[in-house]
A and B are shown apart, each in its own frame.
Chain A
Amino acid sequence: MILAITLSELSRVLVLGVINGAIYSLIAIGLVLVYKASGVFNFAQGEFGTIAIYGSYIAITSFNLPYGIALIIGLLAALGMGLLTERLVIRPLFDAPRVTLLVATAGVALLAIGVEFWRTANEPLKFFSSIVNSPSSLDRVSPFGVAVSDQRLITLGVLVVAAVLLFLFFRSPLGLAVLAASQEPVASELVGVSVRRISTITWGLAALLGGAAGLLYAGGSQFSPGLITAAVLIPGFTAAIVGGITSLPGAAAGGILVGVLQALGSLSTFDSIKGASFVSVFVVLLAVLLIRPQGLFAGRS
């Protein structure tokens, strides 16, 4: 059975899996940030991405703004949604049971999807340009014979930059305050760290990461209401859990792992298993929860 896999097929799967996994990683890092700060599984994380897409799209099509400016506007839209969610939904419910917050974030996601649909019902399927929008951008690089577009290379680059910036951030005083507030909120308040302000900052960061994931995912392709929630959120959740739910490097690595596993499910060897790509994600999730619930990348507690 294994022998049926050719080297070229395996190369294709691995290359595309890593690139798709980068999107999952960005979403997963955002999920982990929020979880560390608020103890909430944020079901609205995907919608930060979709809102960013719509923000950029409207900036381009309705206001004829340059693509770069439109991307910034998209990120600002995501940031605005993240901050509003934190201020209007999370903060009033800060002391409520975590399950209440979980349901509240699901409500935010549904509201966002509703608004997206409401505003685009005349033409729900739209096209969002890629960052480099030319035929030559499609195969400038071909590792192992697999053409990789500029858009996908940029996606990988953004993941690396985000990982480095977060690494540096968590070694800064503000980053340490975020860590402190997430681990010992009462003690942090006693030493002058505002837990609520930290919550705002982490929701903002998570929203920016979600926005970046959305813009990179949709670039050069079509989009419709709820796109990132439908296509990326569950693999992103899986990546976060595989990574240990509180580990940012774990989330980044978990995303890549989930991307590769999902791509492996598309190997011709598994043709007889319907939905193998999707199933593989749940199998991994279940296996991690049962065998190593602290995640593959978490250290010993």
Chain B
Amino acid sequence: MHSRLKTSRTRSVALLLSLLIVAAACGQKPNVAQVSAAGGAGVIDPDTGEVIDGSIIDPDTGEVIDIGDGTDGTAGTDGGSDGLSGSTGSAGGATGTTDGSGGGGGDRTGISDTEIRIGIHAPVTGAAPIPQNSFEEGKEVFWNSPDGKIGARKVRVFFEDDKFDPATAVQRCKKMVEQDKVFLLIGGGGADQITACAKYAQSAGVPYLSAGVNEAGLANLRSYFALSTTYAQQSPIIVQMVQKQFAGKKIGIAVADSGSFNDAYDSIKKAFAAAGFDVVYDKRIPKSANAGDGANIANAMQQSGAEVIYFLSSPTTFLYVANGLNPAYSPQFVGPGITSGLNTVANIGCSAPRRGVDKAIFFSPFPQLDVIDKIDPGYQKAYQAQLGKKGDDLGLALWGLSRQLKTMFDVAGPNMSRQSFVAAIENGKPFAGGVYPPVTFTARNHFGGSQVHVLQADCGSGSFKTIGTFVSGY
């Protein structure tokens, strides 16, 4: 009996170890991603994301490089202008002027006479799955359109699935930087992944851009730029909207339990409190909830009596909660976001018998398809011409982002390096691609957005409709 028990215990411990390994592999562990992301040991402070000693380490050579502040004007020792050799200027050397004429030196990895390489990562699998075909099809539509020419150069876009996992995101970003030799990186969605990759990009001296997400962990990254308002910047606008449209309603706050959302959570709590709202439900919810969690959260919201709920999570968590609502309970969801306003969310949520997503309002850096012909007629024309079909909202997100980036490339000039690109867009002037709201960056502020588009789920059509464009307040 003793030996059987011993065998059973051994097997059980082996199983436990296996489960722990699986759990460790599945879940994100705070700071692991950024630690593993660093090109060299101790490059990034895991808490703040700051580059220790204010310098950046080249991941290949281990050399300290200066991302350049646009003021020193010292020529780089190796401009790397001979193509995609991947050489990194040993000294920043950007002239950093704002008129687009500078940048003769510095790191020109990813730029040749005929090509500019950029890398995008986004979740195709995981808790916020985004259709891969839309990314693959749409990633170069703008750059292949008449408006997308950068002189004689063509923009080539590399795309990687980050699996909604920060560690994977860093691996994929590193791959795009080291193997694909991209000039800059773009985060397509997912705050944790964007934060992790942005920190890696800083350590590698690579400019990194994304739609606005969190500010904490990104605020001290010289190479990071938010191409639209951050979640915290959206909080007062959301509260103004609630004040105007849902005055007197009881408020609920449900924010995913991720460190990246802490500043959004704090800011919305403060904004609702300052406006005198009665917050009856206030909870951090699982980052990757399942159907059971969704039903639990929905029931708790109902019991609290919350009538308007600020919701910030992955799209799948939102859908689980919306689907888990009791029929007698129909709260108004509002929130910031990039992916929550995608038509795939409305389509799936409206397919469920509960239709809990109906009328949900989410802010977005890009408008929806119902107004794009008025805002930018070139979008659908380009899709039709290049792919023979209409573009979807994910393609629109890429199109708008590309337009914004194009204005930055134009300002950085034909001889741009990574350093001069960063310095050039810190010029204090608005970048207005026309689809995303304008953004303005300075050396001290890389969160330069102030406007949003406002989308509302419409279960009649199974899609999001645009109910406000370029909104800065109510």
A-B contact pairs, 27 of them (CB 8 A): A8-B303, A9-B300, A9-B303, A13-B296, A20-B295, A117-B125, A125-B129, A125-B348, A127-B352, A129-B351, A134-B353, A138-B326, A139-B327, A147-B326, A220-B323, A221-B319, A222-B316, A222-B319, A234-B19, A238-B19, A241-B15, A245-B11, A263-B292, A266-B300, A285-B16, A289-B12, A294-B8
In this assembly, does A130 line the interface, its C-beta being within 8 Å of a C-beta of chain B?
yes
Residues B348 and A126 in contact, CB atoms below 8 Å apart: yes
20 more CB-based (< 8 A) A-B contacts, given A41-B15, A293-B12: A13-B296, A16-B296, A121-B133, A125-B315, A147-B327, A220-B352, A221-B294, A222-B348, A224-B125, A230-B26, A232-B290, A234-B23, A263-B292, A266-B300, A274-B257, A285-B16, A289-B13, A293-B8, A294-B5, A301-B4
Which residues of B (338-364) have their CB < 8 Å from a CB of A? 344, 347-348, 351-355
Residues A259 and B131 in contact, CB atoms below 8 Å apart: no
In this assembly, does B385 line the interface, its C-beta being within 8 Å of a C-beta of chain A?
no
Which residues of A (116-158) have their CB < 8 Å from a CB of B? 117, 121-127, 129-130, 133-135, 137-139, 146-147
Which residues of A (257-282) have their CB < 8 Å from a CB of B? 259, 262-263, 266, 268, 271, 274-275, 277-278, 282
B400 to chain A, nearest CB (A): 21
The docked-state distance in angstroms from the alpha carbon of A301 to that of B9 is 13
Residues A293 and B5 in contact, CB atoms below 8 Å apart: yes
Residues B19 and A123 in contact, CB atoms below 8 Å apart: no
Residues B15 and A237 in contact, CB atoms below 8 Å apart: yes
Q: Which of A16, A139, A221 contacts B328 (CB 8 A)?
A: A139
Interface centre among B297, B320, B328, B352 (most CB of A within 10 A): B352
In this assembly, does B286 line the interface, its C-beta being within 8 Å of a C-beta of chain A?
yes
In this assembly, does B291 line the interface, its C-beta being within 8 Å of a C-beta of chain A?
yes
The docked-state distance in angstroms from the alpha carbon of A17 to that of B326 is 16
| Chain B facing A: main interface SS | helix
- Interface size class of chain B, counting residues whose CB lies under 8 Å from the partner chain: 35 or more
With A275-B257, A277-B286 given, is the CB distance from A137 to B353 under 8 Å?
yes
Residues A271 and B326 in contact, CB atoms below 8 Å apart: no
Q: Which of B22, B257, B316, B327 contacts A135 (CB 8 A)?
A: B327
Residues B131 and A12 in contact, CB atoms below 8 Å apart: no
Q: Which of A126, A129, A262, A285 contacts B19 (CB 8 A)?
A: A285
Contacting residues, chain B, for A117 (C-beta < 8 A): 125
B270 to chain A, nearest CB (A): 19
With A8-B303, A266-B300, A293-B5 given, is the CB distance from A225 to B291 under 8 Å?
no
In this assembly, does A48 line the interface, its C-beta being within 8 Å of a C-beta of chain B?
no
The docked-state distance in angstroms from the alpha carbon of A274 to that of B129 is 24
What is the 8 Å Cβ interface bit string for chain A, positions 202-229, against chain B (1 contact, 0 not)? 0000000000000001001110111000
Q: Which 8 A-B pairs have the closest CB atoms?
A: A20-B292, A124-B129, A122-B133, A121-B132, A127-B351, A231-B290, A147-B326, A127-B348
Q: Which of A12, A17, A135 contacts B354 (CB 8 A)?
A: A135
In this assembly, does B156 line the interface, its C-beta being within 8 Å of a C-beta of chain A?
no
In this assembly, does A102 line the interface, its C-beta being within 8 Å of a C-beta of chain B?
yes
A127 to chain B, nearest CB (A): 4
With A16-B299, A301-B4 given, is the CB distance from A122 to B326 under 8 Å?
no
The docked-state distance in angstroms from the alpha carbon of A266 to that of B320 is 15
Contacting residues, chain B, for A134 (C-beta < 8 A): 353
In this assembly, does B61 line the interface, its C-beta being within 8 Å of a C-beta of chain A?
no
| Nearest B residue to A240, CB-CB | B15
Contacting residues, chain B, for A135 (C-beta < 8 A): 327, 353-355
In this assembly, does A111 line the interface, its C-beta being within 8 Å of a C-beta of chain B?
no
Residues B316 and A224 in contact, CB atoms below 8 Å apart: yes
The docked-state distance in angstroms from the alpha carbon of A134 to that of B355 is 10
Contacting residues, chain A, for B344 (C-beta < 8 A): 123, 125
Q: Which of B8, B19, B124, B294 contacts A124 (CB 8 A)?
A: B124
A288 to chain B, nearest CB (A): 8
A245 to chain B, nearest CB (A): 8
Interface centre among A122, A127, A137, A282 (most CB of B within 10 A): A127
In this assembly, does A186 line the interface, its C-beta being within 8 Å of a C-beta of chain B?
no
A116 to chain B, nearest CB (A): 10
The docked-state distance in angstroms from the alpha carbon of A281 to that of B354 is 29
